[in-house]
Amino acid sequence: MAKHICQHCNRRFEIPDDAPEGTEAICPFCSKKNLLGRNETAKPQGLKLPPLAPSKGLSSQEVSEIARDLIANIEKVIVGKHEQVVLAVATLFAEGHLVVEDVPGVAKTMLARALAQSAGCTFKRIQCTPDLQPSDILGETFVDAESGRSEFRSGPLFAQIVLVDEINRASPRTQAALLEAMGEGMITKGRITYDLERPFMVMATQNPIEQEGTFRLPEAQLDRFLIRLTLGYPALADEKQMCERFQLRHPIETLKSVTTPDRVLACQQAVREVQVSSAACDYALALVSATRNHPTLLLGASPRASLGLLRISQALTAIQGKDAVSLEQVKGMAQLVLAHRVIVRGERGHSMAGAAAVIQEIIERVPA
């Protein structure tokens, strides 16, 4: 016997298997007539929903347009430093962190503020000093005297773009408080873990000249920065343009956002989807491996460096509106990604010039 669903009361009842199409059947429950159709005697099927269409991410061209808007907006504040601005935007799109090592007064703070305001992200600045405590940047738990309830008050690290100014002036204990936030995007306070709002980027600055009362960043800390760069002094023509532009007011005061954090997150996802060929991956790995076997280097680059080199290459490829990472892109980014992750033998700490020279020698020696 076949099953049939009543068209009136929606109950099932049995009908003969050979019941011809178009005949009538009486429902034993509601006593109403049912006209048998071709598919009505079939076993009832479950509800079928159309498949969900995959969410359409941003194309490389769309990422390139967003990046161009960000770069042009930032350059209303940062004059004559186009390459550095592009690298800062690429670092944000690559979900990385940036360390800027340069003398005072070359707009390191302004670069971070302009990037945050242009992207519509929240911004906090941490001025590092030797007496800065981890709770000063992470936050503290307070107990209300009246109710007796404890409440966590978040610190300045709970922002989307955080400027850690003169990070080498903070004590090693305070520097270590940044590791979890930079590595995992979260903060643990006591027994509770707090997720940081995305996108999240730390931009740290260092003064390479005055080293009195400073604490050199350990290798584990430096390794969490995607790239290290310098801004340098502007050209005279750029400095004159800056003086004329800043005469009435600072452009940062009126700088408007040109995108949103959600769009930045979409750009980050699009960067992950940029194609990396096997040849580009092999070349990046060969460069990193060469740092581990170089006789001049006491410490080579870590596997995090390999991932970072490919990710920043993907970001720059997307910013240029292309779909696949080229060997030249990997080659061009190798020094910025690797130089701060290695230690040169016989040198005190991380020498930027010495390490950069060794990485350049490796780039020229390893065939693309």
Looking at 56-60, 155-159, 295-299, 362-366, which range is the least confident one? 56-60
Alpha-carbon span 199 to 179, nearest angstrom: 17
For the chain, percent of residues with pLDDT exceeding 90: 53
Pairing relationship of beta strands 297-299 and 343-344 according to DSSP bridges: antiparallel
**What's the pLDDT tens digit per position in 186-220?**
998 878 888 999 999 999 998 877 766 678 887 88
Write the Ramachandran bin of 15: left for phi over 0, alpha for psi from -120 to 50, otherwise beta: beta
Q: Which is nearest to 121 in space by CA: 4, 16, 202?
A: 202
* CATH 1.10.8.80 domain position(s) in the chain: 274-368
Q: Which is nearest to 189 in space by CA: 143, 149, 135, 125?
A: 135
Domain at 274-368, CATH homologous superfamily: Magnesium chelatase subunit I, C-Terminal domain (1.10.8.80)
**What's the pLDDT tens digit per position in 288-335?**
999 999 998 888 999 999 999 999 999 999 999 999 999 999 999 999
Alpha-carbon span 330 to 280, nearest angstrom: 7
What confidence score (pLDDT) does residue 150 get? 81
* CATH 3.40.50.300 domain position(s) in the chain: 57-269
Q: What angle do CA 265, 271, 273 make, to 5 degrees?
A: 115
Q: Tell whether the model's pLDDT for residue 240 goes beyond 60.
A: yes
The amino acid occupying position 213 is G
Q: Give the HSE-up count for residue 57: Cα atoms under 13 Å, Cβ half-sphere.
A: 15
Q: What's the fold here for domain 57-269? A: Rossmann fold (3.40.50)
Q: What angle do CA 24, 28, 29 make, to 5 degrees?
A: 120
Alpha-carbon span 356 to 360, nearest angstrom: 6
